[in-house]
Chain A
Amino acid sequence: MVNVTPSVQDALKGIRVDEDATTATDEIAITVPTAAASSTPQDEPSGDDLVFDVSELSVFYGDFRAVRDVNMKIRRNEITAMIGPSGCGKSTVLRSFNRMNDLIPTARVAGNLLYRGVDLYDERVDPVEVRRRIGMVFQKPNPFPKSIYDNVAYGPRVAGRKKGLDEVVESSLRKAALWDEVKDRLQDSAIGLSGGQQQRLSIARAIAVDPEVLLMDEPCSALDPIATARIEELMAEIKAEYTILIVTHNMQQAARVSDRTAFFSVELDEANDRRTGLLVEYTDTAKLFSNPDDERTENYITGRFG
């Protein structure tokens, strides 16, 4: 159960107030969010509610256009799932949300990707600051070969923080539901943790710099079902404080955890005979899985392809 502190209430300010949303406290109490608790897709988010505004986004690797036609409005304190067959570019899109694609020399982004109204690809933007605000959890758990404590404290340390690290480490590990398992061996190497624990450590490490957004790139694909359930539970718990984008191969996972789902597909690009990913449909999760507008979505979710 999440303890709703005043700061959480603060964070919740400005959350949607449409008819079927209950009070913020009740909203958090729902451990597995259901689509019914979300706002209806017709709402246009604005102001504080709108975290990312993506329009006509394409990502290129060299001359090759890997993804096109991405139009999404990402809402605050929601979990947005990105699903689709292999090669549809969902991870590529996710990694453009915190400029992680910068690390690939040939990668290039076209179109608009606004974070809180600022174009993330404006040349004045500092990618380091972007990544402090928009954290990332990777597909394979990637703990640093350091102690559990140093893993979590890494982000705050590189941000120049020297005091109060103990508190940050503890609260981050608590939020990541790992504290009880590791509190007696914080100085042990993180490499010795199990896969599921390592992934929760990665989440704690990302949370420790107090980001606004968490990007999760198939965070459960290397985990067993029990560890997966643990991570999903965790996402539902921390959702009140973070806006979460998750790429997943697992449609059931998207249906279980997310408020909104973006379905990506791949199509042959006539121009150069290569396969390009594209966003097909982005809507309320319940609607996407029960009554999608697009036939391609329907085919995918009913298992007719992909």
Chain B
Amino acid sequence: MAMATIGNNGAARRVEDEIFKQGRDLRGAGFRMVLLAALAVSTLILIVLLVQVLTDGWPVIDERFGDFWSGTLRSRSSDDALGISQGIAGSFWIAVFVAVLAFPIGISAAVYLEEYAPRNWLTSVIDIAIRNLAGVPSVVYGLLGLFLFVKTRDGNSSLMAGGITLAILVLPIVVITAAEAIRAVPSSLKEGAFGVGATKWDVIRSQVLPFAAPGILTGTLLSLSRAVGEAAPLILVGAITGRLAPRDGSFFGADQFFDRFTAMPIVIVGWVQQSGRDEGFAAAAGAAIVVLLAFVILMNSGAVLLRNYFEKKRG
């Protein structure tokens, strides 16, 4: 029948009039455009940043990257020995401190909070406190580090002070992300294990931690990127922004723990500050930013790959 009609009050209406698209979801379409615009803005900012930094730093990366990589902090940008080796070494050791201190302590605290701690007002208070700590400005951690690890050593700043300070800074983030990953373990898994006579320790070791591993890993690696990118607390604990004499010891030598130090973000801050009087520092800062960004992207990609691997393994 060519003209299908519906309706029971005599008024014949064509089916086509009703079931063809009539723009019912206009608000939805509008909402979608707003979301897309938000995404476009964030992406655009990132692109502008990358282009800017690359343009600034390109001369250095292109012409003398090898020297730049192995060079040290200098007072003149025209110095051929100007480079980031000290910053790389400092940031490397800071990452090690964070991994060695913040990861085990943070994950353990999260396991205790989620699996052992009784649910009462005290644990609620602790939970809220940790969440608040994660939001405390990083300079405050810098002050803490200054008083705890620098003033106690007669005001001598050290790589160790910086590393421990940043480990403390990311500790709450590690606890929160790990706790969330642990909370997401299905209770049916735990019950299944308890049901065949597993002890709490068995359940945590063989069910909870493997299942939560991808989430925990992502959180910890993201917090590592955060620590490596922090500048403010390091400035407070006395990282060197100006000229730092080259050390005698090896590049990654642990003997530098108690020495004066710098780190990649600090190198960048220092050079940007000095670019006012010596324009050459702007290019060096750009190149240093490119290197730092590359490291951060590398770590974050590593986090994603590892998470995917563990998720696949978990089935």
Q: Point out residues on A near B: beta carbons under 8 Å.
A: 98, 100, 103, 105, 128-129, 131-132, 135-138, 140, 142-146, 154-155, 158-159, 189-192, 202, 205-206, 208-209
Contact = CB atoms under 8 A, between A and B. Distances in A.
Most B-side CB within 10 Å, residue of A132, A144, A206: A144
Given A142-B188, A145-B211, A158-B202, A131 B118 contact: no
Interface stretch (B35-43, B50-58, B193-201, B248-256): B193-201
Given A105-B118, A145-B211, A145-B315, A154 B198 contact: yes
B259 interface: no
B194 A138 contact: no
Given A142-B189, A154-B196, 18 more contacts: A98-B195, A103-B191, A105-B119, A129-B197, A131-B197, A138-B195, A140-B188, A142-B191, A142-B192, A144-B189, A145-B189, A154-B193, A154-B206, A155-B196, A155-B198, A158-B199, A190-B315, A208-B196
Contacts of A137: 195
B198 A158 contact: yes
Interface in B177-210: 186-199, 202, 206-207, 210
Contacts of B189: 142, 144-145
Contact of B192 (A138, A191, A208): A138
Given A138-B191, A138-B192, A144 B207 contact: yes
A135 B194 contact: no
B247 interface: no
B314 interface: yes
Contacts of A103: 187, 190-191, 194
10 contacts: A128-B197, A128-B198, A131-B196, A136-B195, A145-B314, A145-B315, A190-B315, A192-B315, A206-B196, A209-B196
A146 B313 CA distance: 8
Interface string B300-315: 0000000000000011
Interface of B: 118-119, 186-199, 202, 206-207, 210-211, 314-315
Most A-side CB within 10 Å, residue of B186, B190, B194, B210: B194
B211 A158 contact: no
Nearest to A99: B194
A219 B197 CA distance: 19
Contacts of B187: 103
Contact of B197 (A145, A146, A158, A191): A158
B214 to A, nearest CB: 11
Nearest to B195: A136
A144 to B, nearest CB: 6
A158 B196 contact: yes
Contacts of B193: 144, 154, 158
Contacts of B191: 100, 103, 136, 138, 142
